[in-house]
Amino acid sequence: MPRFAANISFLFSELDLPERIDAAAEAGFEAVEILFPYDTPVPALRRRLEATGLPLALINAPPPNYTGGTPGFAALPGGEERFRHDFARVLRYAGALGPRHIHIMAGAAEGPEARAAFLRNLAWAAAEAPAQSLTIEPINPVDMPGYFLADFDLAAEIITEVGAPNLGLQFDAYHAHRITGDVLGTWERHRALVRHVQIADHPGRHEPGSGEIDFPAFFARLDADGYEGFVSAEYHPAGSTAEGLGWLGKLAAR
């Protein structure tokens, strides 16, 4: 059975962020991920991670764009200086909190200049933090219109072209379903590049088992393929988080 992490930017939202770590531990999750921890004091998060013993699976980079733009800007032509400045802040947080992965968000952009900028920024980041695992994630264009990285084949091309041993693929089953309609087939094509997995069902981006995706088959494939990373629950609870955790209980009962 996969090892499940709670994305506490989505789950347990009725609690303060540090308290969500305790809630995740009590619910039986084996790790947490936080999309953007940058507004929460590091000591508060670190205390709860240490007290629960839960590792931090992932954070996003760069810090969010508070002017209302699409999250991320690593693929924006001409934004290299800004990217490097903000990535330094990300690494300070990573040094204090120890995330297993840092997801570098491409942002809204298009065309060959955006691709070149993304390649330059990824290559620089991989060299700047050679001991840190970095990921990129295809995000479907319905949920995030204009996002540069909306194709798994493009993501694989970019990872291969950068050629850094610490850069890999973040595989979100929800986005795979919306982009390709074939979660298992997309996994099979790209599983060798995958560092981190996230899950939510479709439609609604709710709990696994609430929609169209065959999660028992997906989890069985992860086990059969020897995937050893975390599988993070990154979904919008249909009700309260606790009420919707039946899927996790069923898996644990196995």
Active site residues: 137, 234
User: Which is nearest to 199 in space by CA: 229, 224, 226?
Assistant: 229
Separation between Cα atoms, residue 119 and residue 122, nearest integer Å: 5
194 and 171 Cβ atoms separated by less than 8 Å = yes
Separation between Cα atoms, residue 227 and residue 193, nearest integer Å: 11
Q: Compute the chain's Rg from CA coordinates.
A: 17
| Exposure letters 100-131 (e unless 16+ CB within 10 A, then b) | bbbbbbbbbbeeeebbebbbbbbebbbeebee
Q: Residue 68 burial by CB count (10 A; 0-12/13-18/19+): exposed, middle or buried?
A: exposed
- Beta-bridged to residue 133, according to DSSP, are 101
